[in-house]
Chain A
Amino acid sequence: MKRQHARWIVIVLIAGLLGLGGTAVPGGAAAAVNLSLWGGYPEIMPVYQRVVADYQHEHPEAKVTILITQLRDYERKLAASIPSDTAGDILEMASATMDRYIEAGLIPKAPPGIAQFVRSRSFGGAAQDHAAVGGDVYGVPWFMGVGAIFYNTAMFKAAGVSRPPQTMDELVADAKKLTTRDAQGRVTRSGISLRLFGGGSGVAEKFAILMWPFGGEILTQASPGKYKAGYDNAAGQATLAMHLDALYATPADSFDLKHDAEAFELAQTAMFERESWVVGDIAQHAPSLQYMTAPMPRAKRWGTIFNPVNLYVSRSAKNPDAAWDFVKFLMQPQYQRQLLADVGWLPQRQDVNYDPVFARIPQYRAFLIKDKTYVYWSMPEIRDFDEIETKLADRLVSAYRDRSLAGNAAAIARVLHDAAQETNTILKRDGLYGE
Chain B
Amino acid sequence: MASTGSRRAQPRDAGGVVRAGAANGRGGLPVPTRVFGLRRVTMGRYLFCYLMVAGPLLLFVLFRVIPIARTLELSVFNWDLISPTRPYVGLANFAALPQDSNFRLALTNTTVFAVVTVVSSVALGLAVAIPLARRLRLEGLYQLIYFVPFVTPTVPEAVVWKWIFDTRYGVLNYLLSLVGVGPVGWLTEPRVALWALVILSVWKGLGYNMVLFIVGLRAIPAEYTEAGQIDGATGWTHFRFLTLPLLMPTVLLVCVLSTISAYNVFTQVYVLASDIQGAPGSVVRVLIYDIFENAFRFYRMGYASAEASVLFAIVLLLTAVQLRVLQSRAEA
Q: Which residues of A contact B (CB under 8 A)?
A: 72, 75-76, 79, 82-83, 100-101, 104, 106, 197-200, 202, 255-262, 281, 383-384, 386-387, 390-391, 394, 397-398, 401
List 5 A–B pairs whose Cβ atoms lie within 8 Å, in order of A's numbering: A198-B282, A199-B280, A200-B297, A261-B277, A387-B300
Cβ–Cβ < 8 Å partners of B298 in chain A: 384, 386-387, 390
Binds A, one of B122-130, B182-190, B222-230, B243-251: B182-190
> In the assembly, what is the distance between CA of A256 and CA of B170, in Å?
11
Contact A79 B82 (CB under 8 A): yes
Binds A, one of B58-66, B268-276, B307-315: B268-276
Work out how many contacts link A and B, with CB atoms closer than 8 A: 86
Q: How far is the CB of A209 from chain B (nearest CB, A)?
A: 14
Contact A75 B293 (CB under 8 A): no
Within 8 A of A (CB), among B255-275: 270, 273-275
Contact with A along B149-167 (1 / 0, CB 8 A): 0000000000000000011
Q: Which single residue of chain B is at the shortest CB-CB distance from A391?
A: B102
List 13 other contacts, CB 8 Å, given A257-B168, A258-B169, A260-B278. Answer: A72-B274, A75-B296, A104-B83, A104-B84, A198-B275, A199-B274, A199-B280, A255-B188, A258-B168, A259-B279, A260-B279, A390-B293, A390-B298
Tell me whether B321 is interfacial, beta carbon within 8 Å.
Answer: no
Contact B167 A202 (CB under 8 A): no
> In the assembly, what is the distance between CA of A76 and CA of B281, in Å?
23
Contact A101 B82 (CB under 8 A): yes
Tell me whether B283 is interfacial, beta carbon within 8 Å.
Answer: yes
Complex partner residue of A386 from B82, B83, B167, B297, CB under 8 angstroms: B297
Main secondary structure of the interface of B (DSSP, over half): loop
Tell me whether B47 is interfacial, beta carbon within 8 Å.
Answer: no
Q: Which single residue of chain B is at the shortest CB-CB distance from A83?
A: B82
Contact A401 B277 (CB under 8 A): no
Contact B84 A202 (CB under 8 A): no
Complex partner residue of A199 from B82, B185, B189, B270, CB under 8 angstroms: B270
Q: How many residues of B contact A (CB 8 A)?
A: 32
Q: How far is the CB of B231 from chain A (nearest CB, A)?
A: 36
> In the assembly, what is the distance between CA of A430 and CA of B168, in Å?
44
Tell me whether B299 is interfacial, beta carbon within 8 Å.
Answer: yes
- Assess A256 versus B183: contact at CB under 8 Å? Given A100-B80, A198-B273, A199-B274: yes
Cβ–Cβ < 8 Å partners of B270 in chain A: 199
Cβ–Cβ < 8 Å partners of A397 in chain B: 190, 282
> In the assembly, what is the distance between CA of A259 and CA of B276, in Å?
11
Complex partner residue of A256 from B185, B280, B293, CB under 8 angstroms: B185
Tell me whether B81 is interfacial, beta carbon within 8 Å.
Answer: yes
Q: Which single residue of chain A is at the shortest CB-CB distance from B296?
A: A76
Within 8 A of A (CB), among B131-175: 166-169
Q: Which residues of B contact A (CB under 8 A)?
A: 80-84, 102, 166-169, 183, 185, 188-190, 270, 273-275, 277-283, 293, 296-300
- Assess A198 versus B167: contact at CB under 8 Å? Given A83-B81, A255-B185, A383-B299: no
Contact B273 A79 (CB under 8 A): no
Complex partner residue of A100 from B277, B280, B299, CB under 8 angstroms: B299
The 6 closest A-B pairs by CB, nearest first: A198-B280, A199-B273, A387-B298, A202-B275, A104-B83, A256-B167
> In the assembly, what is the distance between CA of A72 and CA of B276, in Å?
11
> In the assembly, what is the distance between CA of A255 and CA of B102, in Å?
24
Cβ–Cβ < 8 Å partners of B189 in chain A: 255, 401
Cβ–Cβ < 8 Å partners of A394 in chain B: 102, 283
Contact B275 A262 (CB under 8 A): no
> In the assembly, what is the distance between CA of A394 and CA of B285, in Å?
11
Cβ–Cβ < 8 Å partners of B167 in chain A: 255-256
Cβ–Cβ < 8 Å partners of B277 in chain A: 260-262, 281
> In the assembly, what is the distance between CA of A397 and CA of B82, in Å?
31
> In the assembly, what is the distance between CA of A401 and CA of B283, in Å?
14
> In the assembly, what is the distance between CA of A255 and CA of B282, in Å?
11
> In the assembly, what is the distance between CA of A262 and CA of B275, in Å?
12
Complex partner residue of A200 from B80, B190, B274, CB under 8 angstroms: B274
Contact A79 B279 (CB under 8 A): no
Contact A199 B275 (CB under 8 A): yes
Q: How far is the CB of B275 from chain A (nearest CB, A)?
A: 4
Q: Which single residue of chain A is at the shortest CB-CB distance from B167?
A: A256
> In the assembly, what is the distance between CA of A37 and CA of B46, in Å?
55
Contact B280 A197 (CB under 8 A): yes
Q: Which single residue of chain B is at the shortest CB-CB distance from A266?
A: B169
Cβ–Cβ < 8 Å partners of B283 in chain A: 198-199, 394
- Assess A256 versus B282: contact at CB under 8 Å? Given A101-B82, A106-B82: no
Q: Which single residue of chain B is at the shortest CB-CB distance from A196?
A: B188
> In the assembly, what is the distance between CA of A76 and CA of B297, in Å?
9
- Assess A79 versus B296: contact at CB under 8 Å? Given A104-B82, A255-B185: yes
> In the assembly, what is the distance between CA of A398 and CA of B189, in Å?
10
Contact A390 B299 (CB under 8 A): no
> In the assembly, what is the distance between CA of A281 and CA of B279, in Å?
16
Cβ–Cβ < 8 Å partners of A198 in chain B: 273-275, 280-283
- Assess A82 versus B82: contact at CB under 8 Å? Given A202-B280, A383-B299, A390-B297: yes
> In the assembly, what is the distance between CA of A255 and CA of B275, in Å?
16
> In the assembly, what is the distance between CA of A20 and CA of B19, in Å?
52
Q: Which single residue of chain B is at the shortest CB-CB distance from A199?
A: B273
Contact B82 A100 (CB under 8 A): yes
Q: How far is the CB of A174 from chain B (nearest CB, A)?
A: 24
Q: How far is the CB of A199 from chain B (nearest CB, A)?
A: 4
Contact B275 A79 (CB under 8 A): no
Contact A256 B168 (CB under 8 A): yes
Q: Which single residue of chain B is at the shortest CB-CB distance from A202?
A: B275
Q: How far is the CB of A255 from chain B (nearest CB, A)?
A: 5
> In the assembly, what is the distance between CA of A197 and CA of B273, in Å?
9
Complex partner residue of A197 from B166, B281, B293, B296, CB under 8 angstroms: B281
Cβ–Cβ < 8 Å partners of B275 in chain A: 198-200, 202
Cβ–Cβ < 8 Å partners of A104 in chain B: 82-84
Q: Which single residue of chain A is at the shortest CB-CB distance from B166?
A: A258
Cβ–Cβ < 8 Å partners of B299 in chain A: 79, 100, 383, 386
> In the assembly, what is the distance between CA of A433 and CA of B260, in Å?
41
Cβ–Cβ < 8 Å partners of B279 in chain A: 258-260, 262
Q: Which single residue of chain A is at the shortest CB-CB distance from B301?
A: A79
Cβ–Cβ < 8 Å partners of B81 in chain A: 79, 83
Cβ–Cβ < 8 Å partners of B281 in chain A: 197-199
> In the assembly, what is the distance between CA of A104 and CA of B82, in Å?
7
Contact A197 B84 (CB under 8 A): no
